[in-house]
């Protein structure tokens, strides 16, 4: 999450959609940067931030709002490999929230839990509501309120387009916080594949996404 009163923009950082890289590119132009707490939580959704703007008397309609999206089958695989969920569905940062909330990072926080579920099993039971595109682009009425969505697959040109729109001088674009999800077995079962297709239907429609052969079992591709 970034807010710039000078350049009149709002970046809503979406989980596992190059958010660390995009924040790094635009951080120097921001007046408010994300924290682990609301109203400026790193991955805050659009509606609560809009309500905060209203409470502060800031003219929400004057700001250029953007976020990002990614092939959802790849995003979910990355979320699993980065978040390291346990059997209760808690990610590593939730298991260690006391430290994380105080910006205390310890390597052991990202230890693989002993009860980490198999990938497709986790997909079928996970709550994806906070990871969907809708809460990052829609207002309280369900109408589209974001002005631009950066596709991770076209990251460089899209970032330059946003920079031109807000008047930022962007040069090199770093690649930060990648997830080595190929270290994990992230093959989709038929049911897990279909669930991602249902849950992230908007991403698929807007981005024209298709499942990656790296992540879908061969018997699904033949169907």
> CA nearest 109: which of 119, 118, 97, 117?
97
Sign (positive/negative) of CA torsion 61, 66, 71, 75?
negative
Question: Do the beta carbons of residue 47 and residue 139 sit within 8 Å?
Answer: yes
How far apart, in Å, are the Cα atoms of 137 and each of 69, 146, 154? 11, 5, 19
pLDDT of residue 223: 30
Residue 14, SS3? coil
Q: What does the pLDDT average to over 92-108?
A: 92
Q: What is the pLDDT of residues 144-175, one digit of tens each?
A: 999 999 999 999 999 999 999 999 999 878 77
Pairing label, strands 2-4, 9-11: antiparallel
| pLDDT for residue 204 is more than 80 | yes
Query: In whole angstroms, what is the distance from residue 199 CA to residue 9 CA?
Result: 28
Query: In whole angstroms, what is the distance from residue 47 CA to residue 111 CA?
Result: 33
pLDDT of residue 105: 86
Q: What is the pLDDT of residues 4-17, one digit of tens each?
A: 999 999 999 999 99
Domains and CATH numbers, the chain: 2-221 (3.40.50)
> Which runs of consecutive H residues, i.e. helices, occur in the chain?
19-26, 46-56, 72-83, 92-95, 97-100, 119-125, 134-137, 155-166, 190-199, 201-207, 218-221
| Order of strands, sheet of 9-11, starting from the edge strand that comes earlier in the sequence | 32-33, 2-4, 9-11, 64-69, 148-151
- Residue 18's CB: how many other CB atoms inside 10 A? 26
What's the pTM?
0.90
pLDDT of residue 186: 84
**pLDDT > 90 in the chain, percent:** 83
Tell me the pLDDT band of 211, cut-offs 50, 70 and 90: confident
Query: In whole angstroms, what is the distance from residue 193 CA to residue 204 CA?
Result: 13
pLDDT of residue 175: 75
> CA nearest 11: which of 75, 68, 57?
68
Q: What is the pLDDT of residues 11-59, one digit of tens each?
A: 999 999 999 999 999 999 999 999 999 999 999 999 999 999 999 999 9
pLDDT of residue 220: 38
Question: Do the beta carbons of residue 13 and residue 22 sit within 8 Å?
Answer: yes
| pLDDT for residue 127 is more than 70 | yes
Q: What is the pLDDT of residues 46-93, one digit of tens each?
A: 999 999 999 999 999 999 999 999 999 999 999 999 999 999 999 999
pLDDT of residue 180: 53
């Amino acid at each position: 999450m970034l807010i710039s009163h000078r350049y009149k923009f709002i970046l809503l950082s979406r989980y596992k959609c190059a958010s660390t890289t995009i924040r790094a590119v635009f951080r120097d132009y921001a007046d408010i940067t994300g924290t682990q707490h609301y109203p400026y939580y790193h991955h805050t959704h659009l509606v609560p931030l809009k309500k905060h703007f209203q409470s502060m008397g800031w003219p929400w309609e004057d700001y250029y709002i953007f976020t990002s999206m990614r092939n959802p089958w790849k995003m979910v695989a990355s979320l699993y490999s980065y978040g390291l969920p346990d059997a209760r569905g808690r990610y590593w940062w939730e298991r260690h929230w006391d430290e994380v909330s105080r910006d205390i990072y310890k390597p052991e926080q990202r230890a693989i839990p002993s009860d980490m579920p198999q990938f497709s099993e986790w997909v079928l039971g996970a709550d994806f509501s906070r990871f969907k595109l809708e809460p990052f682009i829609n207002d309280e009425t369900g109408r589209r309120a974001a002005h631009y969505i950066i596709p991770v697959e076209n990251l460089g040109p899209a970032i330059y387009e946003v920079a031109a729109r807000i008047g930022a001088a962007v040069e090199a674009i770093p690649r930060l916080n990648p997830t080595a999800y190929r270290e994990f077995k992230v093959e989709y079962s038929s049911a897990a594949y279909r669930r991602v297709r249902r849950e992230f239907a908007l991403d698929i429609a807007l981005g024209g996404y298709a499942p990656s052969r790296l992540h879908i079992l061969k018997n699904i591709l033949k169907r």
